[in-house]
Amino acid sequence: MKRLQLAFLLAAAWLGAAAVAQTPHSHDHSFRGAEQWARYFDDPARDEWQKPHQVIRALDLAPEARIADIGAGTGYFSVRLAHMTPKGRVYAVDVEPDMVKYLADRAEREKLANLQAVQASPGDPRLPEPVDRVLLVDVYHHIGERTRYFEKLREYLKPDARVAIVDFRKDSPIGPPASERLSQEQVVAEMEQAGYSLAATEDFLPNQYYLIFMAR
C-alpha cells in the first residue's frame, strides 16, 4: 500500500471533486497529525452518503466474528464494528504509525477492549490471527501491487472468510480524481487474478460500489 492516506481524500471530498483535481500531488501526501484529520473522517455529515450501518450489516457478521478494517484511518468503521460485535475482535489496520497510535488511544479512551490497532506494512496487513471478514473502504485504489497484496491477504483468511471492497465509482461527484479511480469491472478482474471470486454485490451506496469476495 502506498503511503497515501484516505483521510486526505475524504477531506478533499468535502470541498468537492474540483478541489481534488486541483491538488494532483495529494496522493503523495504522507499522512500525519491524525487528530486534526479526525474531524473529516468522523464528521456526521459523512454518514448520509457512506451509510456505515448498512455497510456493516451487509457483512453478515457473527457475534464472535474476527474482522480486519484495512486502511482504518481514525476508526470511522472500526469503532462501529467494535460496538456491533462486542463478543468479537476488530483489527484496525493502517500503515501510518500516527494513525495506529490514534486508533490505539481511541480504543482505550472509548473502552473498546475488542478493538486492536495494527501496524501494517505496505505489502502485508500483519494480522495477529485469521479473520472472518475484511473491510476496505476507499482503500483499494491506493494499494500498490494489488495482486500480490491480496494473495498475501489470503494467508490471514479463515476458510469461509469474505473480503468486502467499497470504493468510488467512476461517475461519483465526490472522491479522488477520475484518473485515480478504478471501475468495478477492473476490481473484479484483479481480485480474480489474485485468487478470489465475486460472492455478492450491494447497490445502496450513492457514490461507491460494494463488492464482496471469497477466496477460491
Q: Domains plus CATH for the chain?
A: 6-215 (3.40.50.150)
Taken in order 113, 114, 120, 126, is the CA torsion positive or negative? positive
In the block, cell 495506529 appears at 100
Q: Tell me the mean pLDDT in the region 205-214.
A: 98
The residues near 159 (Cβ < 8 Å, ≥ 6 apart) are: none
pLDDT at 86: 96
Q: Tell me the mean pLDDT in the region 12-21.
A: 34
- How far apart are the C-alpha atoms of 120 and 48, rounded to whole Å? 30
SS3 70: strand
pTM above 0.95, yes or no: no
Would the pLDDT of 12 be above 50? no
**Structure confidence at residue 35 as a pLDDT band (50, 70, 90):** low
* Contact between residue 60 and residue 37 where contact means Cβ atoms under 8 Å apart: no
- Please indicate whether residue 39 or residue 172 has the higher confidence score (pLDDT): 172
Give the model confidence (pLDDT) of 116-159 as tens digits: 999 999 999 999 999 999 999 999 999 999 999 999 999 999 99
